[in-house]
């Protein structure tokens, strides 16, 4: 019997490659919505939301990787995720993410009081990163 088709998922950040596995399916959240990626699909380039990448393992369970935005490129059965920051679920420090959440919420309150829209936007992005890490690590 022929081997079942697979794709390779590689998640790269400025710290280097943090995840590389083969799979028969990966699920990504792009800024346009959720996208399931199967082997042999057409090439694709998309921007990623602050969310997670899920990669199906042989036993049917999914590896989960938190991604703080970035891009994905799919071609020749290689899915490359290029992100400013990404962590495997098991590497997320939830206490650190909780502290980051509190800091971001304080910054949001201050930015609202100071009517500072740029700082408000930055703080809201920090909050989304922290909440994303917390929701993945607490699952
Ligand atoms: P913090 O304020 O805690 O640094 P942050 O959202 O500002 O959070 P980033 O700039 O997104 O952090 O990431 C900086 C580096 O720290 C990256 O390598 C990222 O993978 C890592 N990192 C950030 N938060 C966590 C966490 N809670 N657990 C594990 N690694 C983390």
Q: What is the pTM of this model?
A: 0.94
Q: Would you state the torsion angle of the CA atoms of residues 80, 93, 49, 64, taken in this order, to the nearest 10 degrees?
A: 50
| Ligand 1 center–CA 80 separation, angstroms | 21
pLDDT of residue 128: 98
Sign of CA dihedral 7, 13, 17, 19: negative
- Cα–Cα distance between 82 and 48 in angstroms, integer? 9
Which residue, judged by its Cα, is nearest atom 9 of ligand 1?
Answer: 85
> Which ligand 1 atom lies nearest to the CA of residue 99?
3
pLDDT of residue 2: 60
| Ligand 1 center–CA 70 separation, angstroms | 15
The SS3 of residue 61 is coil
Residue 62's contacts (CB-CB under 8 Å, 6 or more residues apart) are: 27, 54, 55, 56
Which residue, judged by its Cα, is nearest atom 21 of ligand 1?
Answer: 85
Query: Which residues does the chain have with pLDDT short of 50?
Result: none
| Ligand 1 center–CA 85 separation, angstroms | 7
- Cα–Cα distance between 90 and 139 in angstroms, integer? 11
- Ligand 1 pocket (Cβ < 6 Å) reads 15, 68, 85, 87, 91-93, 96-97, 100, 126, 129, 133
pLDDT of residue 5: 84
Which residue, judged by its Cα, is nearest atom 19 of ligand 1?
Answer: 85
């Amino acid at each position: 019997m022929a081997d079942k088709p697979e794709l390779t998922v590689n998640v790269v950040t400025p710290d280097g490659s943090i995840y590389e596995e083969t799979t028969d399916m990966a699920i990504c959240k792009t800024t346009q919505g959720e996208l399931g990626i199967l082997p042999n699909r057409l090439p694709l380039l998309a921007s990623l939301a602050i969310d997670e990448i899920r990669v199906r393992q042989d036993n049917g369970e999914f590896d989960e990787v938190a991604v703080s935005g970035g891009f994905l490129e799919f071609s020749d059965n290689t899915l490359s995720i290029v992100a400013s920051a990404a962590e495997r679920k098991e590497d997320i420090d939830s206490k650190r993410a909780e502290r980051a959440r509190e800091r971001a919420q304080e910054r949001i309150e201050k930015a609202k009081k100071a009517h500072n829209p740029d700082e408000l936007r930055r703080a809201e992005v920090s909050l989304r990163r922290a909440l994303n890490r917390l929701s993945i690590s607490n699952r």
